[in-house]
Amino acid sequence: MKTADPELMRAINRFHVLDTIRRAGAISRVEIGEYTQLSATTISAITGALIEDELITPHHEGDLRSSGTGRGRPRVKLTLNAGAARVVGAKIATNGLAFVVSDFEGQPLAELKLPLRADRLALAVLADLVEDGVRRCVHDAGLTLGEINSVALALPGVIEHGSGRVRSSPIFRDTDVQLTETIGQRLGVPTIAESDANAVALGEHWFGRARDCDDFLVVAVENGLGLAVMHGGQLFRGARELSLDLGQMMLGGQDGSYHRLLDLAGDDAILCGGQGDIRLREAVHLGRPMTHVRRLIEQGNPDLAQAVHRAGEALGIAIANLVGLFAPPRVILAGANLALGPHLLDPLRTSFDRSVTPSLREISEIIIDEAGDELWARGAAAVALGELYGSPWGSTGPALRTMTGLARAGE
């Protein structure tokens, strides 16, 4: 149980103010007050401290002469100081790695994609790859590792956010991998881990299709089936800070036939229908199997068509189940497997409509987001920034100290 003290109170309000500025881009103190319901004097104190720490910057320039009403003292807009910190977000997937170096606002400074097959690796191998990618991407941004405040890794599977342990993941051959410790040591930069679904959820919330929405679900459909629950603007994490996993959901009827969702809608389930095709195996190796599957389907491959159809149906049911559980206003589908297009989505929608409780069908809108790996990596970067912002709920306590330390260093 969390106990409240003045420090926590300040952390909460400071976070709210910072988050409001981030969302708005450029905003005056009074407007912050309108959003946060904090008193003008409190805003002034907090923004003063933030300016002092060089996390935000005032713009009293005559940028906006025509400030609407025009009467009175013009409002001084505040913006995040983009240079206050730099983080790296990395998306680790079986079909490749994606990196983003991003500034304090979350804007990308450099991006890097390494398409390669990262399947069931040993920890050391992946650590090498990730280390190399991070270093290269940081270099591309014209920075050095010493200027990076934090690194966040997003990968599929069951991730323990607090400790940085990877319980299980299609990425690793082993279970219970101490990921952040290993990579953090190599880089010499604080490193955190997060499930890819949670990362993309934060990405959608900061930059994507959920900027206006604090309650939504994200279903990540690619190597493994991830789930993220955003609830009141915060990621819902399981009992032990565990990320949620959808792949283990069982769909199966009375006749003794049970099937895990992963076995119906996972990559393997889809691909096994086209094992004979050599070029498909090539495409798998190149990390873009689903676009090729789509082509094969459109060329009339019945096995693949059926497998994808089944996958779509199963996903539709699973999503309907989630909607029945959480009644979220929005459900966002993301992931490489959306490249299957209508072959996956049409049966998905059909079975969703058939499965969902009628009263919830209108409440929850389903959004397909074919955003690429960049958004995921940016989401990972947002995870890192969120900790840096001093999120009072983020279980990792030291983040705040990290930031103040950072601010001190800036003085």
List contacts with DNA (CB under 7 A).
3-7, 9-10, 13-14, 28-30, 38-42, 44-48, 60, 62, 65, 69-76
Question: Taking a C-beta distance cutoff of 8 angstroms, is the pair 98, 373 a contact?
Answer: yes
Q: Which residues of 336-373 are buried (b: 16+ CB within 10 A; e: fewer)?
A: bbbbbbebbbebbbebbeebbeeeeeeebebbbbebeb
Site for a copy of itself contains 41 (CB under 8 A)? no
Q: Which residues of 283-302 are buried (b: 16+ CB within 10 A; e: fewer)?
A: bbeebbbbebbbebbeeebe
Site for a copy of itself contains 393 (CB under 8 A)? no
Residue choice 98, 199, 249, 371 for contact with a copy of itself (CB under 8 A): 249
**Stretch in the footprint of a copy of itself (CB under 8 A) among 113-121, 187-195, 226-234, 335-343:** 226-234
Site for a copy of itself contains 242 (CB under 8 A)? yes
**Min. distance of Cβ 153 from a copy of itself in angstroms?**
21
**Min. distance of Cβ 3 from DNA in angstroms?**
6
The item of a copy of itself, DNA, none sharing an interface with residue 324, based on CB under 5 to 8 Å by kind, is a copy of itself
Q: Which are the contacts of 386, defined by CB distance < 8 A and separation ≥ 6?
A: 202, 394
Q: How many residues bind a copy of itself (CB under 8 A)?
A: 63
Residue choice 82, 116, 327, 368 for contact with a copy of itself (CB under 8 A): 327
Question: Taking a C-beta distance cutoff of 8 angstroms, is the pair 159, 167 a contact?
Answer: yes
Question: Taking a C-beta distance cutoff of 8 angstroms, is the pair 352, 316 a contact?
Answer: yes
Instruction: Spell out where 139-261 has E strands.
Output: 150-155, 158-160, 165-168, 177-178, 191-195, 216-221, 225-231, 234-235, 244-245, 250-252, 258-260
The item of a copy of itself, DNA, none sharing an interface with residue 246, based on CB under 5 to 8 Å by kind, is a copy of itself
Nearer to a copy of itself, 6 or 302 (CB): 6
Cα(353)–Cα(367) distance, integer angstroms: 14
Nearer to a copy of itself, 90 or 228 (CB): 228
**Min. distance of Cβ 54 from DNA in angstroms?**
15
Residue 157's closest CA among 172, 179, 178, 139?
172
Which residues bind to a copy of itself, rule: CB under 8 A?
A: 1-6, 8-10, 12-13, 16, 36-38, 158, 167-168, 175, 215, 227, 231-233, 236, 238-240, 242, 244-246, 248-255, 257-259, 264, 310, 313-314, 317, 320-321, 324-329, 351, 354-357, 359-360
